[in-house]
């Protein structure tokens, strides 16, 4: 049996997943999240480490295990074995799926078409970020805050933490005005200025901020406000 890999001893795996994204975790940490708990006198990371080592440190070998063989490992059991088998089967099915075409953002109109219909008729303000790749493919749409837009609600860490975890190349900001008037407010401009500055520091530029309201919209970039 191969030597056991070092076990992470800093933050718990679920906390690291929230803060840094799944790509930052080791295979052992991801297995530990699926297991959920360890066994008396043995933390879950140690159980995950032993299971990983029993499969020669290979996820492919782990994926070939039956629920019965997995449940025989100390600290695993039937319910945890079922979770592992289900998660690995989902991974296999995902790899067989055809990759859907990504939607690309080139103009403010593309942003409005993407998220505008969902925001136009809301009775409260929602602030979203659209993360894009170098090719301007939309990677993810994240709701950052709900309520009157100001710098206390939209903090740079809440905007750029998911962007960094996703590996975004740039961001589009978008929010709505329930009043029906898309004219940017002083708070809108202050939030935009703060986030543009933060984006320059972390190397993820803010390409535009679009306000939608009443079937109309205003682009900060198009109007020279960005």
Mean pLDDT by 10 residues, the chain (226 residues): 46 81 87 90 91 91 90 88 92 78 83 85 88 92 78 79 91 92 91 94 95 91 89
Please state, in angstroms and rounded to a whole number, the distance separating the CA atoms of residues 166 and 202. Answer: 14
How many other CB atoms sit within 10 Å of the CB of residue 98? 5
CA 68 to each of CA 1, 76, 80, 85, 89: distance values in angstroms, whole numbers, following the listed order: 21, 10, 11, 10, 15
Q: What is the pLDDT of residue 165?
A: 87
Which CATH architecture best describes the domain 13-96? Orthogonal Bundle (1.10)
From-to residues of CATH 3.40.140.10 in the chain:
108-219
| Whole-number CA gyration radius for the chain | 22
CATH of domain 108-219: 3.40.140.10
CA 76 to each of CA 47, 55, 84, 85, 149: distance values in angstroms, whole numbers, following the listed order: 8, 14, 10, 12, 47
Show the DSSP H helices in the chain as ranges.
13-20, 27-35, 44-54, 59-63, 67-71, 77-96, 108-119, 156-166, 186-202
| 113-165: pLDDT as tens digits | 888 888 887 888 899 999 999 999 999 888 888 876 555 578 898 899 989 98
**Cβ 57 vs Cβ 36: under 8 Å:** no
Which residue's structure tokens are 């703060």?
Answer: 194
pTM equals: 0.58
From-to residues of CATH 1.10.150 in the chain:
13-96
Q: Token digits for 73? A: 């490992």
Q: Token digits for 36? A: 């959920």
Q: Which helix (H) or strand (E) holds 8?
A: none
Give residue 132's Cα distance to chain centre. Answer: 13
């Amino acid at each position: 049996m191969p030597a056991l890999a070092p076990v992470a001893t800093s933050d718990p795996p679920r906390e690291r997943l929230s803060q840094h994204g799944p790509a930052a975790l080791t295979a052992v940490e991801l297995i530990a999240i699926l297991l959920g708990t360890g066994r008396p006198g043995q933390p879950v990371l140690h159980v995950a480490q032993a299971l990983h080592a029993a499969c020669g440190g290979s996820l492919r070998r782990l994926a070939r295990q039956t629920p019965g063989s997995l449940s025989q490992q100390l600290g695993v059991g039937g319910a945890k074995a079922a979770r592992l088998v289900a998660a690995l089967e989902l991974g296999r099915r995902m790899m067989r799926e055809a990759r859907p075409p990504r939607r690309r953002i080139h103009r403010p109109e593309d942003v409005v078409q993407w998220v505008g219909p969902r925001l136009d008729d809301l009775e409260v303000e929602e602030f979203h970020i659209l993360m894009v790749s170098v090719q301007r493919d939309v990677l993810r749409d994240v709701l950052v805050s709900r309520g009157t837009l100001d710098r206390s609600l939209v903090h740079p860490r809440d905007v750029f933490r998911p962007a960094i975890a996703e590996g975004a190349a740039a961001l589009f900001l978008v929010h709505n005005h329930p009043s029906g008037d898309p004219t940017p407010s002083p708070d809108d401009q202050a939030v935009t200025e703060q986030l543009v500055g933060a984006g320059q520091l972390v190397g993820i530029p803010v390409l535009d901020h679009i306000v939608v309201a009443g079937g109309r919209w205003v682009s900060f970039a198009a109007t020279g406000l960005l």
